[in-house]
Structure 1
Amino acid sequence: MEQINNLNVIIPTLNEEDGIGLTIDEITQYVNKENIIVVDGNSKDNTKNEVEKRGVKFFIQKGKGKAEAIKEALNHVNKEIVLIIDGDYTYPAKYIKEMHSILMNDEEVDEVIGVRNRKNQSIVYRFGNWFLTNFFSLLFGVHLNDVLSGMYMIRKRALEGALFEMRGFSVESEIAAHISSTGNKIAQVNIDYRERKGKKKLGIRHGIKIAIDMLRLSWRYNPVTLFFFVGSLLMIPGLIIGFYTVYDYVFLHIDHFVKAIIALILTATGFQSLMLSILSMYLKRMELRIKSYLNKK
């Protein structure tokens, strides 16, 4: 099978002895083993031996977490395209060529995300991924289906532009935020998703941290939208107080003039903030389209 020559593969690992060997064996059908980089977070199992006996580059990361592993791996990247993939054998390598073809044929695309068929995930994980992906799409004005996928291909120059301020599993959303906020496109490819080899590392607490990090990223890349979006939440207490005052007035014939005024102010302020939030989001999209147009010229 013809191999792809302008592609490096980064595989961050932590105690992946059950899946890393299978992952590498599958990837080497499409990419020369010399272009595969494994960065390990000080595994306590047999991960290192599984990698080294296959002749693949193996490095121990200095920091902690997935983001630090990817950042460190960039020091060893020498190709224009980079595939980042988890080492637990959940992501089939057969999609590498399709993802690579999209990047080669469309200069406006900086990243291609593998959108998982999540039938092998529990309901809790499916809901968490659905919520976080839609939360990200709302904050950044994009339409993504799986922002937390552990298989994505990206141009080296775009990856180098990311600041890697977020830690751990938030790295995928930080990279996507960087791409979507700099005027270039994110493409998506539907992929299969297998049951992982080894123990799961992602829990509910990680999901909460990812959501918080998404808010931090929104403040960095589009603070006006976030500011007005938070302001729109004033509608909630405004509507609650308003419902209370209307109920008392209609059914109990009790007047609450002060509360009614407060409810009106909160609701009006929240509604105005919501409209301004939507407006700023569309202005941001217009800015990105103008950037994309100017980049073409």
Structure 2
Amino acid sequence: MANDLAIVGTMPEITNPTIAVLLPCYNEEITIGKVVRDFRTALPSATVYVYDNNSTDRTAEIAAAEGAVVRKEPRQGKGNVIRAMFEDIDADVYVMADGDDTYPADAAPAMVSKVLEGYDMVIGDRLSSTYFQENKRPFHNFGNRLVRGSINGLFGAHVTDIMTGYRAFNFTFVKTYPVLSRGFEVETEMTIHSLNNNLRLFEMPIQYRDRPEGSVSKLDTVGDGIKVMSTIFRMIREYKPLPFFGSIGLILSVIGLVLTSSVTIDFWHTGVVLRFPTLIGAVMLVIAGLLLIVSGIILDVMAKNDRKLFVIDQNRFAFLQRRHD
């Protein structure tokens, strides 16, 4: 069963919605032709966009021959490509996938339907189906579990597939989402952004398949894993500043108070402060801890104001889309 992550309100019906299929690509000549054909078959009314990210093979040529709109993005990295796509392309519904033929195009119509029902983002959930059987890279499986557990625990969510590249979005999401990541960590960033701003998410299980023979993954298990964890760390610091800074401040304060208590006990028994360096260090730890807690409170207020501004921006773009329709 699909995992319904939010309650959807009523949404004005969009007649004859425009659909854009977004395929960021780098050296995918083996698979891109089939991927474009599959999406054109699954979504006949959609426009398929292939953004070529400095490929050195025939990716762009093959995609154009299959009827895709091909554009170049010189800034290397998937995050940079998605940023360009979101800036350049206007549509009612967006479907984003990879050019490596690992995601089934026949799931796209159902994802589009969910967006038209009112969801901001539909997540193609690989992990509930065939991912762990098809994916032959054990460290990737471990990384998916680690990231999923970290984010769900911190945001109190139940998202199954945090890092999937198969997603569908509405116009408002695309035009209000700030793409900050440059590489493959962008999907994790999307999920955290959505959870932090209480967007309407829907998870739909899909049948994942591993790359066909001859197609080479661009993922660096260790390097990209570090980037993903760094992104999580950064976004928790920005989106959850009170728990982040408050917990560190609380730990420092407790350590400082324990050390201060030991010096106080010695003074009680002897009438002399025997460990001045310990006392000075302990007081500094308490002060530093209190400063971190206060900083967390201030930053938490700022983060809440940012969420308010985001809601205002969402309402503005939703209004513009209704006027356009």
Give the TM-score taking structure 1 as reference length: 0.75
Partner in structure 2 of residue 169 of structure 1: 184
Greater Cα offset, 165-174 or 24-33: 24-33
1:139 CA displacement: 3.1
1:142 CA displacement: 2.0
Partner in structure 2 of residue 193 of structure 1: 208
Letter in 1 for 2:217: K
1:227 CA displacement: 2.1
Partner in structure 1 of residue 170 of structure 2: 155
> Could you say what secondary structure the match of 2:24 adopts?
strand
Cα distance, 1:41–1:79 mapped onto 2, change above 3 Å? same
Q: 1:69 and 1:57 mapped to 2: Cα distance?
A: 15
1:33 CA displacement: 7.3
> Could you say what secondary structure the match of 2:244 adopts?
helix
Alignment of 1:225 onto 2:243:
yes
* Number of aligned residues: 259
Cα distance, 1:233–1:20 mapped onto 2, change above 3 Å? farther
> Could you say what secondary structure the match of 2:185 adopts?
helix
Partner in structure 2 of residue 19 of structure 1: 31
Q: 1:6 and 1:95 mapped to 2: Cα distance?
A: 18
Partner in structure 2 of residue 110 of structure 1: 120
Q: 2:95 and 2:204 mapped to 1: Cα distance?
A: 14
Q: 2:249 and 2:159 mapped to 1: Cα distance?
A: 25
1:145 CA displacement: 0.9
Q: 1:211 and 1:233 mapped to 2: Cα distance?
A: 23
Q: Are 1:134 and 1:144, in contact at CA under 8 Å, matched by a contact in 2?
A: no
Letter in 2 for 1:116: R
> Could you say what secondary structure the match of 1:64 adopts?
coil
Partner in structure 1 of residue 157 of structure 2: 142
Q: 1:5 and 1:142 mapped to 2: Cα distance?
A: 31
2:139 aligned residue (121, 124, 139):
124
1:8 aligned residue (20, 30, 37):
20
| Unaligned ranges ≥5, structure 1 | 242-257
Alignment of 1:66 onto 2:83:
no
1:92 aligned residue (100, 104, 114):
104
1:138 CA displacement: 2.5
1:183 CA displacement: 2.5
1:140 CA displacement: 2.9
What is the RMSD computed on CA atoms of the aligned residues? 3.6
Partner in structure 1 of residue 265 of structure 2: none
> Could you say what secondary structure the match of 1:112 adopts?
strand
Q: Are 1:11 and 1:38, in contact at CA under 8 Å, matched by a contact in 2?
A: yes
Deviation string 1:88-136 (CA, Å, 9 cap, x unpaired) is: 000001111221222222x2x2111111141311322111111112212
Q: 1:33 and 1:53 mapped to 2: Cα distance?
A: 18
Partner in structure 1 of residue 222 of structure 2: 204
Q: 2:251 and 2:40 mapped to 1: Cα distance?
A: 51
Letter in 2 for 1:228: G
Partner in structure 1 of residue 88 of structure 2: 76
> Could you say what secondary structure the match of 1:28 adopts?
helix
Q: Are 1:12 and 1:39, in contact at CA under 8 Å, matched by a contact in 2?
A: yes
Give the TM-score taking structure 2 as reference length: 0.69
Q: 1:151 and 1:180 mapped to 2: Cα distance?
A: 17
Q: 2:34 and 2:116 mapped to 1: Cα distance?
A: 27
Deviation string 1:146-188 (CA, Å, 9 cap, x unpaired) is: 1110101111211221221122011112222222222322110
1:55 CA displacement: 1.8
Deviation string 1:19-54 (CA, Å, 9 cap, x unpaired) is: 111111111112247611111111011111210111
Partner in structure 2 of residue 247 of structure 1: none
Q: 1:92 and 1:186 mapped to 2: Cα distance?
A: 20
